[in-house]
């Protein structure tokens, strides 16, 4: 007789709440952050213009990745916007994007009056499929946005070849993938520009914040200006002519910079812990017939922002709801639908009732079936929250919960 599921009134498999990114139990905060925050407060200057914390953090992050330029900003979405703005696109220019990501990877393209063009994903890794990217290129394509999803790196070798052949900029969105790698190279160091997020749930955090890195001097200069109203402060002028082009105020504060600076010293430990616990869970679930642990290509190294668990021979929504009832924190089916099914695109809701720039320039019909691999992948995935403070005992309980649910939905679900 199968054990009664928690969703049906049985005992939960997770006996003590798991640590999460929403509390101190799931974050690597300590005296290092406190010391630098106090130092910033005592300086009397909490603006990056006059302070030192943000500049120190930028320099440290650039050293960590081995790149010449790092530009801090107010969020990961702002970081994406900096990369798009650095390209200085014309209205109607196109950027190829994946349909499975956070909307922050997409909307900055629209803010620059350019058009996202969706390409499909690899059905196993859920990141951009190179062949689909190649098919999506048109005469107005200017860039590719390679989003490293949940810690899984894109095939940057294949995407790089396509970008070079068509003279396209290659942008990496590394918000979910600190220290992931492809072909032995860290993500963020492969494309023309890359963006990172310091939002609460990421590998390291200062609550909200972002970073752009690049080896391209011109891109770095324009991105840095765009984050500060296109004001070249080194010129010292105060006339209206100092605002060089249309730009935003995306400055990071010194308090954010102080926390982020302390967090940078912990990112390698955070990623190492996440990887170790993820490997343990994969080994425990490998024999469960109806579950598909993350498939990591041999030329990549995963950094596990989330643990993307696939489900087969069972309804992923029902399975996921039962799993979360057991105490496993997760987003069932991750974002539910590909982003092109958002009202932003289907109605479209952009600037007033104009639908600009989609109504004027888009060559895609935003409907189901546009990216079939993405749609199928989202129907079967459960995005388990992952954490640098998970212990082996926590992983054991997560595995027990998954196997308990699998026995209910797939009675013959363990391979022999």
Q: Distance between CA 240 and CA 231 in Å, rounded?
A: 10
Determine if residue 46 is left, alpha or beta; phi over 0 gives left, psi from -120 to 50 gives alpha, anything else beta: alpha
Nearest to residue 394, comparing CAs of 28, 13, 29? 13
- DSSP string covering 269-318, please? HHHHHHHHHHHHHHHHHTTBTTEE-----TTEE---SEEEEEE-SS-HHH
Tell me which of 202, 229, 284, 404 is the catalytic residue. Answer: 202
Q: Find out whether 206 and 218 touch, Cβ atoms under 8 Å.
A: no
Per DSSP, 223 falls in state: H
Residue 110 — φ and ψ, nearest 5°? -65, -35
Q: Distance between CA 351 and CA 358 in Å, rounded?
A: 10
Q: Is the dihedral of CA 306, 174, 206, 31 positive or negative?
A: positive
Determine if residue 3 is left, alpha or beta; phi over 0 gives left, psi from -120 to 50 gives alpha, anything else beta: beta
- What 3-state DSSP class applies to 196? strand
Q: Distance between CA 64 and CA 213 in Å, rounded?
A: 11
Residue 193 — φ and ψ, nearest 5°? -145, 160
Q: Distance between CA 209 and CA 77 in Å, rounded?
A: 9
Note the helical H segments in 190-234: 217-226
202: annotated active-site residue: yes
Query: 167: buried, middle or exposed (CB in 10 Å: 19+, 13-18, 0-12)?
Result: exposed
Query: 88: buried, middle or exposed (CB in 10 Å: 19+, 13-18, 0-12)?
Result: middle
Q: Find out whether 414 and 306 touch, Cβ atoms under 8 Å.
A: no
What is the number of residues in the chain? Answer: 416
Q: Find out whether 6 and 326 touch, Cβ atoms under 8 Å.
A: yes
Catalytic residues, by residue number, are 202
């Amino acid at each position: 007789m199968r054990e009664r599921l928690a969703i049906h009134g049985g005992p939960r498999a997770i006996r003590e709440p798991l640590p999460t990114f929403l509390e101190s139990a799931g974050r690597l905060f300590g005296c290092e952050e406190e010391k630098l925050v106090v130092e910033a407060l005592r300086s009397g200057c909490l603006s990056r213009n006059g302070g030192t914390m943000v500049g120190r953090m930028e320099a440290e992050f650039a050293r960590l990745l081995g790149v010449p330029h790092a530009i801090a900003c107010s969020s990961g979405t702002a970081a994406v916007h900096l990369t798009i703005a650095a390209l200085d696109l014309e209205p109607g220019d196109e950027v190829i994007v994946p349909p499975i990501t956070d909307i922050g990877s997409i909307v900055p393209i629209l803010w620059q009056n350019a058009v996202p063009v969706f390409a499909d994903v690899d059905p196993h890794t859920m990141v951009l499929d190179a062949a689909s990217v190649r098919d999506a290129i048109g005469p107005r394509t200017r860039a590719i946005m390679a989003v490293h999803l949940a810690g899984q790196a894109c095939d940057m070798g294949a995407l790089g070849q396509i970008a070079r052949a068509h003279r396209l900029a290659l942008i990496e969105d590394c918000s979910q993938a600190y220290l992931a790698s492809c072909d032995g190279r860290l993500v963020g160091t492969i494309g023309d520009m890359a963006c990172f997020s310091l939002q609460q749930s990421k590998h390291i955090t200062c609550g909200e914040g972002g970073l752009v890195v690049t080896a391209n001097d011109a891109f770095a200069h324009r991105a840095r200006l765009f984050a500060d109203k296109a004001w070249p402060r080194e010129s010292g002028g105060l006339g209206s002519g100092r605002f060089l082009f249309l730009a935003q105020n995306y400055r990071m504060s010194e308090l954010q910079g102080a926390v982020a600076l302390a967090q940078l010293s912990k990112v390698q430990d955070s990623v190492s812990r996440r990887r170790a616990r993820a490997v343990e869970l994969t080994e425990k679930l490998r024999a469960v017939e109806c579950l598909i642990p993350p498939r990591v290509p041999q030329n990549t190294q995963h950094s596990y922002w989330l643990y993307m668990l696939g489900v087969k021979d069972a309804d992923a929504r029902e399975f996921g709801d039962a799993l979360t009832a057991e105490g496993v924190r997760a987003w069932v089916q991750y974002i539910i639908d590909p982003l092109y099914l958002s009202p932003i695109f289907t109605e479209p809701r952009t600037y007033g009732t104009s639908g600009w720039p989609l109504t004027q320039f888009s060559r895609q019909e935003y409907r189901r079936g546009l990216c079939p691999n993405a749609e199928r992948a989202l129907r079967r995935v459960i995005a388990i929250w992952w954490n640098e403070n998970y212990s082996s005992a926590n992983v054991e309980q997560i595995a027990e919960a998954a196997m308990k649910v699998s026995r209910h939905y797939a009675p013959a679900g363990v391979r022999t």
